[in-house]
Structure formats: structure tokens, C-alpha cells
Amino acid sequence: MKGLVKNEPLIVLADEDLSHIDFHQQVLSESGYWLRSVATPAKLTTILEQHPVNILVLNIDFKFEGGESLSAAVKRIRLLSTCKDTRIILTSDVFSQEKKQAAYRSGASDFLTYPIAPDELYLKMETHLVAGARKGISGALSRSFNLLSEMNMALYPLVATAVSCTQMLKQTSLSNKQSVYVESISGAMKRASVIGDNLRDFEELSVGSIALENTPFDLGQLLESLRDYFVGEAESRSVELLFSVPLDVPRSLVGDPDRLRRILLNLISEAIVIGGGCPIILSINAGTLSESGVTLEFAVHQNITDDASPCDDLDELAERAAMAMSELDESLNLLIACYLIEKMGGEIHQEAGSEDSGVYFNLELQVAKVSTDKSFAVPVDLRGLRVLVVDDNPSSIAVHSAIISSLGFHCESAIDVDSAFHAIEEGYLDLDGEPFDLVLLDWHMPGKKGFHLLEKLQSDMTPEQIPLVIVISAFDRAVIEKDRGNGKIDGYLHKPISASVMFDTMMEVLGENLPKTHSRVLAAQGKSNAVTVSGGGKRILVVDDMSINQQIAKEVLISNDFQVDVAESGREAVVKVCPAPELYDAILMDLEMPDMNGLEATRIIRETADRESLPIFALTAHTMERDRQRCLDAGMNDHVSKPLDADILLQKLAVYLGLTVTSKCHSAPDGIGQKEEYEYVDISDGIKRVMGNETLYFKLLSDFVHQARSQENQVCALIESGKLTEAADNAHTVAGSAGNLSVIALRNSAKQLQNALLALEDHQASLSQFRRDVDNAIKEIGNILLKRSNVALSTVHAQSDETKAQGNAGGSPKTGNGFRERLILLESQIMTQDMMAIDNYYQMLVDFCDMASKLKPVGDKLIELDYPQALIALKTFKTEQNLSTETTEEGGASHAG
């Protein structure tokens, strides 16, 4: 029977589709091949055990016994003595990248998709038969590698000597040019050593005599050796190399550190070549952890963020790694890495559900019994500091932010210099009092570089406001020092960065230079420094439509010996300035005003006065680069951010007007340190914003209550009528006023509502939060002002308790002494048109919430400052509640007594 001759090739086809079987028989049998077709797993096993098989053509959907997976079946087949050299070709009816990856990862030699052309099938069979004739070829390869091994053994001591001499040469005095040459020699020798180690391992693998070490090692030190190895190559190829190794991964391990290092070296080297400049990430995560061992999940890939688009730059690396165990790869690096992974008990696999290409494998290593893991504990008083990561690469931000957050810091990010500066400036002006303490700055970004941010910080912020800066770069430190100019750098991190090195650097920088806002610094100071200037009677025009903003600016300027004039609109400013611009030395110009905004007014003023003779400063909460540019284009000299910071305002005035800046120590006002903390209002910060004038501050708070409610109603009315832009302008006004008075939460919610309205997003949630914050802020301010007006809350609460007791005895809460006395006080305040009436009203809403809806007509008139109508509404309320004049007078007598 033809085909039973032993030297004829045997091809086995395992497929349940009869059309596939007919096609192969027709093409291959006529060409003289011995083809055996099977449709069941039992028959397949019988044939494979009986005869040496040259090629196995296996359908990827073939059903194996017991639901055995494809990878497990291929691995089992390769263990058969008749199939050690068998070429396995997987086929499928439908092509997909996932199926192709699965085929190669299972150990297949090739992957074909039906329909297959007869010529293509014949060519594939011939190719694999030649590749499978391993006896002569592997013998030749073995002899060749034996020769290389002998040469390697002869060269190895020479390379080792060269490496040692290079290290000694580095310690001598060298010129810059000589140092470059020595570094080049050192890098070349390191690579030569790795090649030699790969050849030596190949020889041991080929004869099956490789012996793995089992010694303790530190994973952190291993990562540092990888960084030293790749730092030059990554820089020369413009490749960003990142290490993503969370702090929960054990560092003290037992295993073969040299082989593990070489696996990672070889895979990363191939990834750099294949990736063509894409970012390369080495990720190590802890899987199953037991008392004595841990399964580490390794990945050499290019993306770590969930929201990034699919990455396929390393698909070739994944395919070649999957085939390396069944093919002789063209790269010795990849071949050795894959064999070592297998010998160390690991397995290369495909990451389930991942669209990120790369090589994934796991290894089980022992955890050292005597752990030398360093402590990553951050001192308690350093936890919670704010850190800003500035980097254009999302994966880099994700890696570094994860490390920083795990150390207990609050981490935020920015993708360019402009947004970073805006975040730093906003952080300093943030009424929560939480500026950024540390910036991790990528030095080489598209567009503006790291040194541009340093320059911006130096020119636009005071030394006390500039955060600590650690530069992250793949460049040599000397290059950074040359480019940084006058910018201050507190530390350096060289990419790729391990968590251990980042921790050490951050602790060193923060330990030597505690942030200016740190509690230890503030506690040690006990008092604050404030900027003061001698205005010398220079005249400043403040242009703002909000009386609160006007009064704050006037207080700051008058306290520093300036004369102040006020204009409530851009049009009024033009009328005051244009006829005689020499009357004013500077203008503070709000941007958002009705009638005529600040930009229009500035353009008109610039027709009669230039920048040098009359500086104009924008007062704005918009501090993005494009907003600053709009101000400059209109003719303004500079900007001052809202909420108004007195120090920054005075410093900028001093620069443009040629005044001397002094720093004056102010102890905290008596009692401020002991003041009760409130949820919405930061009293201490608010008083500082008006140069310590408490009387003015509390007056402005009282004024704000009336304005806030009116503006809230305007915002809601504008939204209901579809005028979203105008509503956003009103929300912006509320945010500015609240910010200047340090009403923190209301400022934030007003800004959030403004942004939602301008972006035409769903604003209902923001509006609801804004209205809640207006209500709560007004109630809290009422409480504050009541305390200040000597209406003791302890008395009120005691009276409220008395009211409750009377209510329990059968009386009505509203007729209790507490409520009656408060009602008498409110009536008295309304009759004398006392501004505290509105505050008393809001406190009554808190203490007697059941009366809130019935008292609302009184409050509505108080908000409008219509005291006569408020008194009428109050009398109507008393009549409806059967609280006669005699009753209230009785309560009043009781109160007086």
C-alpha cells in the first residue's frame, strides 16, 4: 500500500468538517503525501501514538476530550515521543487577530484561514517539512553553537577585564570628551556581556544541563540594574521606558536573579527594536501570595491606561514570543528569554480582554524568610501633601500617580506647561488652603519644555508660593542644569523610575525642604509674613460692579497708602480716565461687567494712555493662558487672579509703579486661632484678605447674604428662560464674591455651575448643589453674625429646649418663650432697619424649621431690604399664628426680665 513506506512524510488532519478533509485529500494525496484524517479526539490520539508525525493540521475549534483547552492539548501532544519534531498548523474558518494570537501562544508553528488556495497549501506543507527535518539541521546548529560557545568562553574573561578597567577608569580625572568615550565603551561591554551570557545559556539548554540558582535577591536592585543598562539606548532611540511595580510587590525574593534579569533585558531589548519608538512599560504585579512564595505577573507592553486606544506596535513581539518554543527565532534574545521562562516554571500567555500588545508571563518565586524589604512608610505629618505630576504621556502619569497615591499623597496631573502653571496658581489661590507642595516635572515635552514652567514660576509667583520641583528626565543631569536657567530644581529622577528610588528622592527633598504651608512650618512660625508697600499717595482706579469686591480692594490699597477711586462699569471707567489719564497711576479692571466689559474699556483707554504711563491690571478668575493673552491683546499689562490675594496685588503694583516692597510680620489677630471652624466660611482667611479689618469683613459678610439670595434667584430665572450664558455670568459673579470673602464651598459650586452652563452640559446636578450651598452658606453666615452681635447661641438653645419641654407639656412650639423672644428681637430689628435682621431670620429658620415656610414672606422682603413691607409681613404672620401684640409683649417682658 502506497504511503506506508517510512521515509514518506506523514500528515495528520484533525477536523470535523468533511469539506476540509476532502480538500486536503485531493491536494495532498495527489502530491505523494501520506494523509491520515480523523474527526474524533480518541482516533487522533491513537494515530499520533502509532507513527512519527511530520505535520499535524488541527482545526482551532476541534473538540478535545473532557473539554481540554487548545494550549493544554498542544502541550500534551508535544510530550508524545512520536511528536517531538511535529510541526503543528492550526486552521480556522474565520480570521481574527485574537484567534491568530491564541494559535501562536498555544505553540503552533503556523495559522491558516479557509478557504486555502491549493498552491498555498502545497507550499506551506513543503516549507514546514523542510523546517521539520531537524536531525541534520539541529546537528549542524549544535556544532555551530558549540564552536560559538568555545569562542565565548575564550572571550568572556577578556570582556570581564575590559568592564573592570572601564569602571576603574571612570574613577579617574577625565575630560568631558574622555568621559563620553568611556561611557560608550562601558555600554558596549555591558551588551557584550549579555550576549556572552545568552550564548552560554543556549549551550546549556541545547544539552539539557542548565542549572538554576536559588539565592536571595532584591527586586529593587534588579530594576536599578535594568535602568542603568537601558538608559543610554532608550535616550538614543527616543523611547520612553517605564517601570510599573506597585509597592505591594515583595522586594525580598529567592530565585535566579541573573536569569530573571536576562529575561527582562532580552524582552525589553526586542521591544525597543520592534516598537519603533513607542513607549515601553515593564509591569510587575503580585498575583497569588502564600507564606513561602508569590506568583509575579510580568508584562512588557506599551500601555497602562484603560481609556487609551488599542495599541498594536508590539504585536510582532507577541507573535514571535508565542512561536519561539516551536520555531527557531531569528533573535537569540527572544529565544533565550522564552526558554528561560519555561525552565523557571513560568508560562507565556495572552492577557485576557486586553487590547494592549506585548509579552505577558508569570513566574513563581520564593519570598525571603528574612525580609530586607525597605519601609515605604511616609511620616504622618507628610501624608496628604499635594503632588502635581506634569507629563505628556498618559501611561507615565498613570505609573507615577499610582506610586505617589500609594504613599499617602494627594496626586493630580497636568499634560503640558500651561495647564500645570494654571493648576499651581489655582492651588495657591484655592480657598481651601491647599496649594501644591511638590511638582514632578517631565523635562522633555512637546511644545513648551520643563524649563519654561520653571521660568513662569520664577516670574509670576513669589518664592513662598513656588512648590518644590523634582525633574523627571531621560536626559543626563548636566543637560538639565544647562537648560534650566534661573529656575530652582530640588531633585532629579532619571527614567525609568522605580518606586523605591522615587520614594527615596521624595523623602529626601521633602525632608530637607518642608513645603511653606506644612503644619510643622506654620506651627514653628506662629505668625505670618505679609507684603506691604508705601503707595505714596498714588491714585488707583478700581473698576468693578460688585460692591464687595470694591470694598476689599479699597481696604488693601488704602492700608498701603494709596488713594482709591471707584468705577462700577467699564463705561464709567472710560468717562473717568479718557479726559485726563494722568490723574491715575494704575487701574484694576474687572473683566465681567454689564454695559461695557473690561476688555472693551481697556481698548478705548489705550487710545489716550499707553502701557508705560498707565498700567492696567485685569481682575479675573480666568487664569488660563488664552485668557491672559486676551487681556494682553486688549492692552492690559498684567492680571491679578480672583479671589484677590493682597500680597500678589501689592507686589505687582510695586513692580510697575517702582515702589519698595517690604515684608511685615503680623501675629494672628487675637482670638482668630481659637475661632470655631465652619463648613462654608473660613473666617481667618477672609479677615486676612481685608488686611485684618474684622469690622469690614463681617459687614461684607452681612452684605453678601442679601446679594447671594438675589443672585441665586437671577440665576434660576435666567436658566428657566434659556439664557444660559447670562446665567453663567451671574454664577461667575457669585463665585467671585464668595471667593473674596472665603465662602469656600459656595465659590466652588458656583464655579462648577458656571462651567456646566458654558459647556452646555446637563446642569441640573450643579444647579441643585449651588442652591443647597447658597442656603447653607446663608444659614451659616447668619449663625456667625448672630454670635458676633452677642445673641448667645447657648441661650437660644436653652430657650429651644424650654420650648420643647413646653411642647411636650401640651403647648405649641411656636408659643414657647424661645420662639416668642426671637420673634420680638426680629420685630425690633426690622423696626430699626437693623442689617442683622436678615441674619436673625435665617438663624430662626435653623432653630424653628417648622416655621420656615410661614416666615418666608418676611425673609423675602428682608432680602430686598424692604423693611416696611417686612414689618407688614411679620404682623400678618403673627395674626395668622394667633400671636397677638399682647402675647409678644408678654414674651418681651419675660425676655427683658
Q: Can you tell me the distance from the alpha carbon of 370 to that of 50, in angstroms, rounded to the nearest whole number? A: 53
What share of the chain in percent tops pLDDT 90?
A: 10
pLDDT at 807 over 70: no
* Mean pLDDT of the residues in the chain: 78
Give SS3 for 12: strand
- What's the pLDDT score for residue 297? 92
Closest CA to 354 of 306, 286, 285, 316: 306
Q: What is the pLDDT of residue 677?
A: 67
pLDDT at res. 529: 47
Name the percent of the chain lying above pLDDT 70: 78
Q: What share of the chain is helix, strand, coil (3-state, %, to 5)?
A: 55, 15, 30
Query: What is the bridge-based pairing of β-strands 293-301 and 280-289?
Result: antiparallel
Least Cα distance to 857 among 848, 869, 847 occurs for 869
CA distance 145 to 206: 9
> 643 preceded by cis ω (within 30°)?
yes
Average pLDDT estimate for 507-520: 60
Q: Is the pLDDT of residue 564 over 60?
A: yes
Q: How confident is the model at residue 388 (pLDDT cuts 50, 70, 90)?
A: very high
**What pLDDT score does 572 carry?**
92
Handedness of CA 608, 611, 615, 621 (dihedral sign): positive
Tell me the average pLDDT across 721-737.
85
Residue 678 scores a pLDDT above 50:
yes
- Band of residue 28 on the pLDDT scale cut at 50, 70, 90: confident
More confident residue, 571 or 174: 571
pLDDT for 654: 87
For the stretch 293-329, pLDDT in tens is 889 999 998 876 665 555 667 777 877 777 665 555 5
pLDDT band at 1 (very low <50, low <70, confident <90, very high): very low
Residue 595 Ramachandran class (φ > 0 left, ψ -120 to 50 alpha, else beta): left
Name which of 494-503, 526-535, 551-560 the model is least confident about.
526-535
pLDDT of residue 587: 95
pLDDT digits 0-9 by tens, 734-776: 888 888 888 888 888 888 888 888 878 788 888 888 888 888 8
Residue 4, pLDDT > 70, answer no
pLDDT grade for 153, boundaries at 50, 70 and 90: low
Give burial (CB, 10 Å; 0-12/13-18/19+) of 816: buried
Burial class (CB in 10 A: 0-12, 13-18, 19+), 847: middle
> Which pLDDT value is given to residue 616?
94
Q: How far is CA 339 from CA 285, 342, 438, in A?
A: 22, 5, 45
Phi-psi domain of 238 (left: phi exceeds 0; alpha: psi -120 through 50; beta: other): left
What does the alpha-carbon distance between residue 844 and residue 838 come to, in Å, rounded to a whole number?
A: 10
Contacts of 765 (CB under 8 A, 6+ apart): none
Q: Exposed (0-12), middle (13-18) or buried (19+): which is 342, by Cβ within 10 Å?
A: middle
Instruction: Taking residues 571-586, report their average pLDDT.
Output: 92
* pLDDT tens digits, 395-430: 888 888 988 888 888 899 999 998 999 888 887 765
Return the pLDDT at 355. 65
Cα four-point dihedral sign 93, 96, 98, 100: positive
Task: Report the distance separating Cα 252 and Cα 237, nearest Å.
Answer: 33
Mean pLDDT across 136-161: 57
Give the global pTM.
Answer: 0.50
CA angle 65, 71, 73 (to 5 degrees): 35
**What residues contact 589, with CB distance under 8 A and at least 6 apart?**
543, 570, 573, 598, 601, 602, 616, 617, 618, 619, 636
pLDDT confidence of residue 370: 61
Q: Tell whether the model's pLDDT for residue 713 goes beyond 50.
A: yes
The residue type of 608 is T
Q: Rounded to a whole number, what is the distance in angstroms from the first to the last CA of the chain?
A: 128
Q: What was the pLDDT predicted at 152? A: 59
Highest-confidence segment of 358-372, 441-455, 827-841: 441-455
| pLDDT reported for residue 96 | 83
| 794 CB neighbour count, 10 Å cutoff | 7
Across 835-847, average pLDDT: 71
> To 5 degrees, how large is the angle CA 762–CA 768–CA 774?
135
